[in-house]
Amino acid sequence: MAEESPKNSAAEIPVTSNGEVGDAHEHGYNRFFSFYLNVTKDLKHSLPSGLGLSETQITSHGFDSTKEGVTEAGASQGGQRTHTKGGPVILADEIKNPAMEKLELVRKWSLNTYKCTRQIISEKLGRGSRTVDLELEAQIDILRDNKKKYENILKLAQTLSTQLFQMVHTQKQLGDAFADLSLKSLELHEEFGYNADTQKLLAKNGETLLGAINFFIASVNTLVNKTIEDTLMTVKQYENARIEYDAYRTDLEELNLGPRDANTLPKIEQSQHLFQIHKEKYDKMRSDVSVKLKFLEENKVKVLRNQLALFHSAVAAYFAGNQKQLEQTLKQFHVKLKTPGVDAPSWLEEQ
């Protein structure tokens, strides 16, 4: 007799007379299969990020243990890949890595920084060419020169305000001293008295002039350190855009001078695309600078005309001893003097 082929006891499944699997054994098989899938799933999730089960095999033995179903699941770049030879189908989840996106951003930033640095060095060494708008560059140079001059005026006006404050404070003390001696020296009562009145009047007029000078300082400070500074920030952005534009323009010119073949054509097209992007950015920034320079000039003339008229009228009235004209000048320019012991008005109240 021929020997019977050995069978694995775990694969033996009794069959009923009508060819159906017994209920008890079928239930056991289903429990085993579910347990295996759960273990496989837990093992996959327990692996570190970026790793997966490279191959998963599920074998089910039939009635005679001669048929097997094998399923292989593996993740492929750019999507999901499932290779099935039979049995259940398992889909591999696509792995997303945010670190790759950050790495790409760093790579683009480094490349752009390298190109701009190379362009700056080339310009300083006299080897590289730069795009120049003669009219706009002249306006920017005038603006920077005017800013330095206005800063000097602002510094001198602040010094004058400090010195005037000290003089007014001294005049007040001197007036109080004269008034005290006027009461205690009967023989010099009249002389000390009118000197006390004179010093107090000078101190009062000095406080009025001090208010006008401080108002002038505040207006010029706003013009220099806010309005002009904001325009210069836009100028700085324009200059950076110009450097980027020239850097990518130089790259495109170098590629166009080289050979044109299957390897260089994609590079030329990409360089052309980047050049167009930076050209549009440069044109936009140049337009923004032109508009801001125009509005700045109009605002500067308006502000300085009023402030210079105020400064002149106040100083002339003070040294002429015309108290009424001095007070009228401050009312004309809506200058409010700070009352001693009262907090300064808020910015909204001043507006």
Read off the pLDDT band of 118 (50, 70, 90): confident
* pLDDT 10s digits, 182-231: 888 888 888 999 999 999 999 999 999 999 999 999 999 999 999 999 99
**Given this model, what pLDDT does residue 337 score?**
66
Read off the pLDDT band of 262 (50, 70, 90): confident
**Given this model, what pLDDT does residue 34 score?**
59
CA distance 64 to 57: 20
**Given this model, what pLDDT does residue 42 score?**
52
Instruction: Compute the average pLDDT of residues 109-130.
Output: 84
Indicate whether 156 pLDDT > 70. yes
**Given this model, what pLDDT does residue 136 score?**
93
Read off the pLDDT band of 312 (50, 70, 90): very high
* pLDDT 10s digits, 332-342: 887 876 644 44
* pLDDT 10s digits, 40-77: 555 444 444 444 444 444 443 443 444 444 444 444 44
Read off the pLDDT band of 95 (50, 70, 90): low
**Given this model, what pLDDT does residue 150 score?**
95
The answer to whether the beta carbons of residues 230 and 299 sit under 8 Å apart is: no
The better pLDDT of the pair 92, 248 is held by 248
Indicate whether 93 pLDDT > 50. no
* pLDDT 10s digits, 271-304: 899 989 999 999 999 999 999 999 999 999 999 9
- Which strand (E) or helix (H) includes residue 155? helix 134-184
**Given this model, what pLDDT does residue 10 score?**
40
**pLDDT cut 90: percent of the chain above it:** 40
Return all residues near 118 (Cβ < 8 A) that are at least 6 apart: 247
- In terms of Cα–Cα distance, which of 277, 291, 275, 289 is closest to 236? 289
**Average per-residue pLDDT for the chain:** 76
**pLDDT cut 70: percent of the chain above it:** 68
Spell 26-58 as b/e; 16+ CB within 10 A means b. eeeeeeeeeeeeeeeeeebeeeeeeebbeebeb
Return all residues near 226 (Cβ < 8 A) that are at least 6 apart: none
**Given this model, what pLDDT does residue 91 score?**
47
pTM across the whole model: 0.62
**Given this model, what pLDDT does residue 108 score?**
83
**Given this model, what pLDDT does residue 211 score?**
92
Read off the pLDDT band of 170 (50, 70, 90): very high
**Given this model, what pLDDT does residue 104 score?**
83
SS3 content of the chain, % helix, strand, coil (to 5): 70, 5, 25
**Given this model, what pLDDT does residue 257 score?**
85
